[in-house]
């Protein structure tokens, strides 16, 4: 018999936490659609994005509502997943049965988190979530720690956005933006 989640010991693990949020453009005076077709399109996008996670480098921690929580062993694996997930939204890949254009907003942070084997807890999870919240539609933003731990080939694909004040963080956080993959840039041109 399994114990309740609060019975499981918390273990520190180091990895790259990814928060993925599905969002649609907001038009002034137009309420966002939360009808069955729109929700089905969100669920389809998140399921397709989750299917791109390749164990053992990454795992899906939670898929809920309009969000996805992932954990990768290294930033490079998380960044590769981010490029693939953002490519799902290219005009040639989108099959959403809704007039709203859906997009992913991704936030990444590499560091130590606590896990009970099922869920993740701690500063790193909160930071990844806050980074995703400030990302624009179709953007992948990451913390300075993630940028520093990424390989040079990934670092060359990033822009320094400077310091950001994030909710519930006293100090500004240095953020970076991952540029779209060259293949995605060609597909949307």
* CATH no. of 10-188: 3.30.70.1230
Q: How far apart are CA 163 and CA 175, in angstroms?
A: 6
Unique residue bearing structure tokens 């929700």: 39
Q: What is the reported pLDDT for 179?
A: 96
Q: Please name which of 128, 138, 115, 134 lies closest in space to residue 184, comparing C-alpha atoms.
A: 138
Q: What is the reported pLDDT for 189?
A: 43
Enumerate residues 6+ apart whose C-beta is below 8 A from 125: 17, 69, 113
Q: How far apart are CA 173 and CA 77, in angstroms?
A: 22
pLDDT in tens, the chain (189 residues): 445 566 789 999 999 999 999 988 877 777 666 688 888 888 999 999 999 999 999 999 999 989 999 999 999 999 999 999 999 876 544 454 444 688 999 999 999 999 999 999 999 999 999 999 999 999 999 999 999 999 999 999 999 999 999 999 999 999 999 999 765 444 444
Q: What is the reported pLDDT for 94?
A: 46
Q: What is the reported pLDDT for 187?
A: 43
Answer positive or negative: Cα dihedral of 165, 141, 67, 94.
Answer: positive
Q: What is the reported pLDDT for 92?
A: 40
Q: How far apart are CA 73 and CA 78, in angstroms?
A: 8
């Amino acid at each position: 018999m399994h114990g309740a989640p609060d019975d499981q010991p918390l273990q520190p693990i180091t990895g790259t936490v990814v928060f993925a949020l599905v969002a649609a453009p907001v038009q002034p005076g137009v309420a966002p659609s939360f009808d069955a077709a729109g929700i089905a399109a969100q669920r389809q996008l998140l399921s397709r994005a989750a299917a791109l996670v390749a164990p053992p480098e990454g795992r899906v921690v939670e898929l809920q509502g309009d969000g996805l929580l992932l954990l990768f062993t290294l930033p490079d694996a998380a960044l590769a997943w981010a490029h693939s997930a953002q490519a799902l939204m290219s005009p040639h890949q989108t099959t959403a049965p809704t007039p709203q254009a859906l997009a992913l907003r991704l936030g990444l942070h590499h560091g130590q988190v606590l896990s009970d084997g099922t869920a993740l807890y701690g500063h790193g999870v909160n930071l990844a979530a806050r980074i995703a919240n400030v990302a624009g539609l179709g953007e992948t933003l990451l913390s300075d720690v993630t940028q520093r731990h990424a390989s040079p080939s990934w670092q060359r694909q990033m822009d320094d956005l400077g310091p950001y004040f994030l909710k519930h963080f006293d100090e500004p956080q240095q953020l970076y933006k991952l540029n779209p993959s060259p293949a995605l840039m060609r597909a949307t041109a």
